[in-house]
Amino acid sequence: MAELKADYRQSVRLKRKRIFSYAWVGLLAAFSIAALAVYYGYASDERLPGFHLETMEGDATIGSAIQLDGSYVGRKGNRTMTVDAEGTNYTDANRVGRLFILPFSKTYSAATAALIKEHRTFMRGKEYGTFEQTDDLLLYVEVVPKKGEAIVKLSVLNKKTEKAVEYSWAAGTWKPRENVGLADLQIEGKHAHFLLERYGTTQSNMQSDPQLFDYVFDLTAGQLIDTREIKLPVQAGFHLSVANDRGTSINLLHVVLFASREAGAGKEAGGDQSTPAASEKAQIIEYEPFIYDYADGRLQPLALTIPVNMEHTNNYVDGDKMYSVTISGNSTGWRGESFDITETDLRTQSETAAYTLLASELGGKELLMPRFMDGKFYFVVPGAQVNGAMGRVSTKVTVIEAASGKSLYQGQVAYDGPSSEATAELKDTVLLNLELRS
């Protein structure tokens, strides 16, 4: 019996020792996995290269508002990133974080991110609509469907008190195969104007029967005071595009509307639409421009010279001026070797300036369609691709005064490391999207 008890105690000790050994092995394995995860996950960020937007010529404060979005596709990883004057921010989570953080994280534009930073409480949940602001107010509006109706939801923030007021109203029906959205938002004195566009879609998903409405909201009284339907005097079968005001003027608020159609289509309102002859080499488009004044609700025809390459033209309104930017040299999508720019005075309906920008004169292979804000064009000027690499060996930014074509700023993406590594790292960057933080 004593021998049995001794054997039992020895068996228990061996079992405990074995369990203890297994526990140590498990802890060691867990520690090793954690260490490797940190090394290949979080520590991998430290091995990724850094870049910044360096001012080469002009006003450095202009460059401080610029952010370039894109990706790094080199041997050290494949990551999305933003680059500005302060440095690089890799916007996707690292390898560990991607498993837990990224599915619940969101990426915002530079302008929206700046608003979130400044007005965090107000901005919570506001990401799909449109913003506009004055020195005192910040407006957010979105159009949502609800039980077959289009509902306009407006939030108004007093930036001094950080207090917000919510409003909403029905803006007609929202039928199946119909699109309803905000085409423009402008503040005119104490009034806010919401330009609502609605159109149906054909079986081939083409736009049909567009309509425009200007909803006028009194910000002081907190109520909708007028609804104006903007009826364009055009034939059936047209498509509609809007050139928004992106200037600083608060006294001359316009929106320019372009009605367009295939040549020969919709000869009579409500009649059958025809298509161009099959022998035509290119689709011919007819354009009819109009100008709508928010202050008095007037709609007038606009006498404009329509560029031959109108389908590759962007139009930007700045108070009583409109700038048309057309790709004129070796265009590929929304990029090209040269751009023709014209300035039109909307009061006299006359062309007042014209010039051409060449990518070669700005130190690049091509120009991308610019951003426009407050009378300035912001161009990304990519360099050449090397040996079929995705990236560009150089990425420059040029800011042009719209009225004169004068260069106000030139910057270039620079590598934060030894100059001997710069070319190898820069050729693995793809930074083709420019955003403005303010």
Between the CA of residue 81 and those of 98, 117, 193, 205, what are the distances in Å?
A: 14, 19, 36, 34
| Predicted TM-score of the model (pTM) | 0.79
Domain count, the chain: 1
Computed from CA positions of residues 269, 228, 239, 179, in that sequence, does the dihedral angle turn out positive or negative? negative
Residue 127 placed within a domain: yes
Query: Which residues of the chain are modeled with pLDDT < 70?
Result: 1-26, 29-46, 92-107, 204-206, 236, 247-252, 263-284, 330-331, 388-389, 438
Q: Are 237 and 207 in contact (CB under 8 A)?
A: no
Residue 248 placed within a domain: yes
Residue 203 placed within a domain: yes
Residue 265 placed within a domain: yes
Residue 149 placed within a domain: yes
Residue 239 placed within a domain: yes
Residue 240 placed within a domain: yes
Contacts 24+ apart (CB under 8 A), 133-140: 133/159, 133/187, 134/187, 135/159, 136/160, 137/187, 137/219, 139/185, 139/187, 139/192
Residue 51 placed within a domain: no
Give the pLDDT of residue 314.
Answer: 92
Give the pLDDT of residue 149.
Answer: 94
Contacts of 30 (CB under 8 A, 6+ apart): none
Range of the domain at 169: 109-269+282-302
